[in-house]
A = this chain, B = another copy of it.
Amino acid sequence: MARRTKAEAAATREALLDAAEEVFLEKGVARTSLEQIARHAGMTRGAVYWHFKNKADLFQAMLCRVRMPFQELIAEIAEPSLMERPLEAIRLAIQNGFERLEQPRHRRVHAILVHHCEVFGDIDPLAMQNEMANEACGALTDHFTCAARLGQLREDLSPENAAELMQALLGGLFHDWLRNHERFSIATKGSELVALQLELMRRP
């Protein structure tokens, strides 16, 4: 067609990213062509190559819309009363993250990252997942250490082991839920299981 206004151009850019999410999730990243993405957004490949350098660039732009640093989750629930109840702080932070995960955009992009893309140009999904896991495990260790100092952790459970158990549990729930999110809600069922696990870890 013809030139659009700046706002319209930004809209088509978003539309292309939306289309990429949907097609990537349906057919996998490697097996979708830029043509398919463009058609699904009602555009042609020209639009894609205008807004993005190539497929990897588009992919990265898609990821940028859902960045969710784990520390931020804990920082968001900065109620002073929780300083003395670190286990409760952990629970709330995780529930916070789970609820954010259930937003369709976050769910789709994470499902793509975890299940529908392989190694990809200079983007290595495994490295990204490792980063996230390490960050989460570090934050968990901090708070479990705090809990141990306050005597709220079982004596036979070291803070490091507690953090590793919880991180593995989170990862498992995350993967299970991403595989088919229709089976259960991670915000309710997942939070429930996390709370239960925290009860198992709490000093009686």
* Assembly stoichiometry (copies): 2
Does B200 contact A28, Cβ atoms closer than 8 Å? no
Cβ–Cβ < 8 Å partners of A169 in chain B: 165, 168-169, 172
Interface size of A by Cβ–Cβ distance < 8 Å?
41
User: Which of A8-16, A48-56, A154-162 lies at the interface with chain B?
Assistant: A154-162
Cβ–Cβ < 8 Å partners of A30 in chain B: 28, 30-31, 118
Does A27 contact B119, Cβ atoms closer than 8 Å? yes
Does A130 contact B180, Cβ atoms closer than 8 Å? yes
Cβ–Cβ < 8 Å partners of A179 in chain B: 126, 129-130, 133
Please give the residue numbers on chain A whose beta carbons come within 8 Å of chain B beta carbons, in ascending order.
27-31, 115-120, 125-126, 129-130, 133, 154, 156-157, 161, 164-165, 167-176, 179-180, 193, 196-197, 199-201, 204
